[in-house]
């Protein structure tokens, strides 16, 4: 299934403005619910609801949801930071935490 197909299976997130992330070394990231990142908000919100944090299992599922975009992220590091983050979690296994508002 494609990323668009996968998004259609996830709950709507129009009520969210932002997801604030905290990494294992205290690094911070923000995903705003604006055009261009609304799909990432849906993916990350789903993963946090299901797993509670972004550990290795959540990251692996997230990569499945991003579907065809994962190959592009691997080919162009930095182009898809929300996918890059999940790829790193799968490798190092250290979870990220988040809050949604």
Task: Convert the pLDDT of each residue in 40-80 to its tens digit.
Answer: 999 999 999 999 999 999 999 999 999 999 999 999 999 99
pTM of the model: 0.97
Q: Alpha-carbon distance 93 to 101, whole Å?
A: 26
Structure tokens at 7: 């998004």
Contacts of 81 (CB under 8 A, 6+ apart): 29
pLDDT (mean) for 9-36: 97
Q: Alpha-carbon distance 7 to 18, whole Å?
A: 18
User: Domain residue spans in the chain?
Assistant: 3-100
CA distances for 59 relative to 1, 15, 34, 49, 84, angstroms: 18, 23, 22, 13, 10
Other C-beta atoms lying within 10 Å of the C-beta of residue 20: 14
Backbone angle region of 93, left / alpha / beta, with phi > 0 → left and psi within -120 to 50 → alpha: left
Report pLDDT for 81. 97
């Amino acid at each position: 299934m494609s990323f668009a197909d996968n998004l259609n299976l996830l709950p709507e997130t129009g009520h969210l403005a932002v997801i604030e992330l905290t990494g294992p070394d205290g690094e911070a990231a923000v995903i705003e619910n604006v055009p261009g990142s609304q799909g990432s908000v849906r993916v990350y919100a789903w993963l946090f609801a299901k797993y509670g944090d972004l550990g290795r299992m959540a990251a692996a599922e997230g990569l499945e949801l991003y579907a065809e975009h994962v190959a592009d992220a691997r080919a162009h590091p930095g182009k898809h930071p929300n996918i890059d983050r999940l790829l790193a979690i799968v490798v190092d296994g250290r979870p990220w935490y988040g809050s949604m508002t």
